[in-house]
A = this chain, B = another copy of it.
Amino acid sequence: MTKGHTDSISQSVSVELIAVLVAVTNGQPKVITVSSGDALPAGPLEESHKSLQAGLRAWVADQTGRRPGFVEQLYTFADRDRGHSEKYTRQISISYLGLTGEDGPLLASTSWRGWYGYLPWEDRRDTVPALLKDIVEPGVQRWVIATKDASARQARRERAAIAFGLDGRNWNEDLVLQRYELLFEAGLLPEAGPAGRRSLRLGSPMEADHRRILATGIARLRAKIKYNPVVFELMPPIFTLQQLQQCVEAIAGANLHTPNFRRLIEQQQLVEATGAMVADTGGRPARAYRFRAEVKEERAAVGARLPIARA
């Protein structure tokens, strides 16, 4: 498509901003929801908004009374046939991830909900959820063998094995979206429509594709937390290392090896001791820490590496 066509569109288009607003309080990762937990907060892009990010921040501030310290665009998708009018309409949905604290008042219509209520198979902290063996794996298995073609079946088997750590593979906590999509395709989620089995209780559903957007946000956050010190935004100013670890565990949905976690944090010099102690831990008092502000810029980007030739 060459230039010059770019202003030709005239179909009816509406633009919607959808937010995954995350907080973590004592080991519980949460998102802001509306409609009694049935949907993510969403609002139209308004004329007054200078940019998408600005628009999002504007109404997030309205909602939560707080301004999220970290906001990142997730994904944009377009649906046809979304409106009820006879006119052919197109909806563009732009989703964002935002990190904040749980404090600050919410409007009555909104509330915090634990995110593992929507994706219970993602929380493997203390035990591997029973529904994985009881519901997910049999359902996925049915989906695998539901294909006649042998190579297609093999492809499905491989995909399932990767997503859910089957066949001796390891569970990869980053594959939140892949798991959601597989369950959706397998018809194991009510969102999948009439084919979806409403009888299975695989977490609470959400309207439209909001649960999918939530999965996207969690996936992004789980990936990001490994190379970018965004946990910052989810922690109070002063905290103990265990609190920090529990926050990361809540996000990752897995228990961490405490000594190694500690070593990781220290060698990256993410935090500094305040000197104060926190005594009400139930055991030995813990040192209080704060984040090193400098880190924010320093470690803003480290990432993986290529075998680059020096000199």
- Interface of A toward B, CB cutoff 8 Å: 1-3, 5-9, 11, 13-17, 34-35, 39, 41-47, 49-52, 55, 59, 62-63, 73, 75-78, 80, 83, 88, 90, 92, 94, 107, 109-110, 155, 158-159, 162, 172-175, 178, 223, 225-227, 248, 252, 254-258, 260-261, 263-264, 297-298, 300-309
Inter-chain CA distance A13–B78, complex, in Å, is: 13
Q: Is the CB of B3 within 8 A of A42?
A: yes
Shortest Cβ gap from A61 to chain B (Å):
11
Q: Is the CB of A52 within 8 A of B35?
A: no
Q: Is the CB of A1 within 8 A of B42?
A: yes
Contact for A14 among B9, B173, B226, B308, CB less than 8 A: B9
Inter-chain CA distance A162–B162, complex, in Å, is: 36
Inter-chain CA distance A253–B112, complex, in Å, is: 45
Inter-chain CA distance A291–B152, complex, in Å, is: 20
Q: Rank and list the top 10 A-B pairs by shortest CB-CB distance, nearest first.
A: A1-B43, A260-B307, A226-B304, A76-B76, A9-B44, A1-B59, A257-B309, A13-B13, A255-B309, A9-B14
Task: Give the residues in chain B near A159, CB-CB below 8 Å.
Answer: 297
Task: Give the residues in chain B near A305, CB-CB below 8 Å.
Answer: 226
Q: Is the CB of A34 within 8 A of B304?
A: no
Inter-chain CA distance A152–B42, complex, in Å, is: 35
A41-B2, A44-B6, A307-B264 known; A300 and B76 CB under 8 Å? no
Q: Is the CB of B309 within 8 A of A50?
A: no
Contact for A51 among B8, B77, B297, CB less than 8 A: B77
Q: Is the CB of B44 within 8 A of A306?
A: no
Centre residue among A2, A8, A252, A304 by max chain B CB count within 10 A: A2
Task: Give the residues in chain B near A83, CB-CB below 8 Å.
Answer: 7
- 23 CB contacts below 8 A, A to B, read A1-B44, A2-B110, A3-B34, A3-B35, A3-B39, A3-B42, A9-B44, A13-B13, A45-B78, A47-B80, A47-B88, A50-B80, A52-B77, A158-B297, A172-B302, A178-B301, A223-B303, A252-B306, A254-B306, A254-B308, A254-B309, A257-B309, A261-B306
Inter-chain CA distance A15–B109, complex, in Å, is: 32
Shortest Cβ gap from A152 to chain B (Å):
13
Task: Give the residues in chain B near A175, CB-CB below 8 Å.
Answer: 301
Which residue of chain B is the closest to A108 with respect to CB atoms? Answer: B2
Q: Is the CB of B297 within 8 A of A162?
A: yes
Inter-chain CA distance A178–B297, complex, in Å, is: 12
Inter-chain CA distance A189–B43, complex, in Å, is: 36
Shortest Cβ gap from A133 to chain B (Å):
17
Task: Give the residues in chain B near A17, CB-CB below 8 Å.
Answer: 1
Task: Give the residues in chain B near A302, CB-CB below 8 Å.
Answer: 172
Inter-chain CA distance A34–B1, complex, in Å, is: 9
Which residue of chain B is the closest to A62 with respect to CB atoms? Answer: B1
Task: Give the residues in chain B near A3, CB-CB below 8 Å.
Answer: 34-35, 39, 41-42
Shortest Cβ gap from A161 to chain B (Å):
9
